[in-house]
Structure 1
Amino acid sequence: MAQRRMFSNRITNSAKFLKMPLSSQALYFHLGLHADDDGVVEAFTIMRQVGAVEDDLRILAAKEFVVVLNKDLVTYITDWNENNRIRADRKVDSIYKNMLLKILPEAEVINPKPRADTGKPTGRPLDNKWTAQVRLGKDRLGKDSKTYSPAKAEPHLPYKEIIDYLNEKAETSYRATTKKTQTLIKARFKEKFSLDDFKRVIDNKVAEWKNTDMAKYLRPETLFGTKFESYLNQKASKGKQRYNHFEGENDPSVYDNLPF
């Protein structure tokens, strides 16, 4: 088990997160601290340790911060890859990996690779083992120093913010972790479209298609595909927009499909 875990402010500072009871918020942090490298944790054990109750977990599941995989409360943290970026050569597969992919085939799971420093099977180094470090002397600082510069990390894209906006406006329940959805969003950002452009496309098509036979096309593969620019530039519908913000938030029926 890793000794360090991280949490994204995009998740924990969101209104959706902060509107939950403090006990549910605290449970989310404890689950994240004890999750394995695939974001899976035995929630029942953690709840016993910290004095949480099942209602705290039910709220996390209803808000889609976690997915409960079975009646033993084995739980997957849905924004795991948003919170933690684990190197493939340090990643250890979850013992629940097969069950996770069977229940959530769209889960973004990192495949482990051989260690970069030893070439041996994947795994974290022992406490008394360290990866060799390259020291740069003054004579090496210059154009040669570029050889040792770390690769630039791929910029973070607002997958979750875009899909949350679509789900709110179109009353859908798409996941931001789906590979196809992320591929489409990434392609549009490479074409220099912005977050506001995505929201404008969603607004335009929701105003035009919602409550019509075309409502079934209010989905990522249609909205964010090759017709994205034409959807962006069409004139907005003058029809009255409907807002269902936080609709059903206090409705106990949101718990009906949970496995516990």
Structure 2
Amino acid sequence: MAQRRMFSNRITDSAKFLKMPLSSQALYFHLGLHADDDGVVEAFSVMRQTGAVEDDLRILVAKNFVNVLNDDLVAYITDWNENNRIRADRKVDSIYKDLLLEILPNIELTEPKPRADTGKATGRPMDNQWTDNGPHRLGKVRLGKVRLGKDSNIYSSSNDEPHIDSKKIKEIISYLNEKAGTKYRASGSKTQRLIKARFNDGFNDEDFKKVIDIKVAEWSGTDMAKYLRPETLFGTKFESYLNQEVKKSKTNKGGDSYGGLEF
């Protein structure tokens, strides 16, 4: 996911936007910052991290700033193309693209094309590229180092495209099932896409196990236990979960449960 996002003043200075509570406005900005290149974001995770309440999201939906795509609060930012114009050779398709097109078949999506710097698959550029209208750089792009070490065997040495060993995926899902008492299948296409996406980001199998341990310790025995699943754990908030302190679970007596929101 990109590290920089933009917002259009036409949207954020409008009366419709400014009449919303400040908490709903703040949630909109956080959702935009965490959205992928298609404008899709896991709203539930953002709400939990920012302390937003369900009414903040309801207001965004009612004002047509956000469309909720499923019960897990995967959401699409309605004015995404107004806020962000992403170059086709840098654009990475959302892992929720199929869901997005199923719910909103008429939206305009940027189609990826081969990268200008390598001619290969789309993604972030390998150098600091200039804007088309002058030598004004948007800022230095810091390239993260690929984690090799014990897990270097998951990358193919013959080309730049990572090859994920299917055994790694099975081990991760088996670990999740063991720790969370679940019965997820490693063969699920969405599960495989999520895990491969995180490996492609440079994470390794120990990172997956750490995230599972952290969230099992925090969510077991609470209303959040139902979110101990690949779609939540291995999505766009993976790195945030990885850097989170371990918290012991507490029974949630009537606490927030955003998975049950109705719109």
Deviation at 1:149, TM superposition (A): 6.7
In the TM superposition, what whole-angstrom CA distance separates every residue of 1:164-210 from its partner, at most 9, and x where no partner exists?
xxxxxxxxxxxxxxxxxxxxxxxxxxxxxxxxxxxxxxxxxxxxxxx
Q: Which of 122, 127, 130 pairs up with 1:130?
A: 127
Partners of 2:4 and 2:128 lie apart in 1 by 18
Asked if the contact 1:117–1:132 (Cα under 8 Å) also holds between the matched residues in 2, the reply is no
| Seq. identity, % | 80
CA distance in 1, matches of 2:82, 2:35: 14
Gap change, CA 1:70 and 1:57, over 3 Å in 2: same
SS in 2 for 1:11: helix
**AA in 2 matched with 1:23:** S
Match of 2:36 in 1: 36
**Alignment partners' CA distance in 2, 1:20 and 1:132:** 38
Structure 1 residues 132 and 124: alpha-carbon distance in aligned structure 2, compared to 1, 3 A threshold: closer
2:26 maps to a residue whose letter is: A
TM-score using structure 2 length: 0.50
SS state at 2:76 partner: strand
Question: Partners of 2:26 and 2:129 in 1: how far apart?
Answer: 38
Supply the distance in 1 between the matched residues of 2:132 and 2:59 (Cα, whole angstroms): 44
The residue correspondences of 1:42-191 to structure 2 (distance < 5 A) are: 42-125=42-125, 129-130=126-127, 150=133
Match of 2:6 in 1: 6
Q: Separation in 1 of the partners of 2:77 and 2:17?
A: 14
Report if the CA contact (8 A) 1:117-1:131 is conserved: no
- 1:5–1:33 CA contact under 8 A, matched in 2: yes
Deviation at 1:52, TM superposition (A): 0.2
1:8-55 deviation digits (Å, cap 9, x = unpaired): 000000000000011000000000000000000000000000000111
Could you tell me how far 1:150 is from its partner in structure 2? 4.4
RMSD: 2.0
Give the match for residue 16 of structure 1. Answer: 16
**Which whole-Å CA distance do the structure 1 matches of 2:63 and 2:108 have between them?**
19
| Structure 2 residue identity aligned to 1:68 | V
Rounded Cα–Cα distance in structure 2 between residues aligned with 1:76 and 1:82: 13
| TM-score between the two structures when normalised by the length of structure 1 | 0.50
Check whether the contact 1:32–1:77 (CA below 8 A) recurs between aligned residues.
yes
Write the letter of the residue equivalent to 1:60. L
Count of residue pairs the alignment pairs up = 137
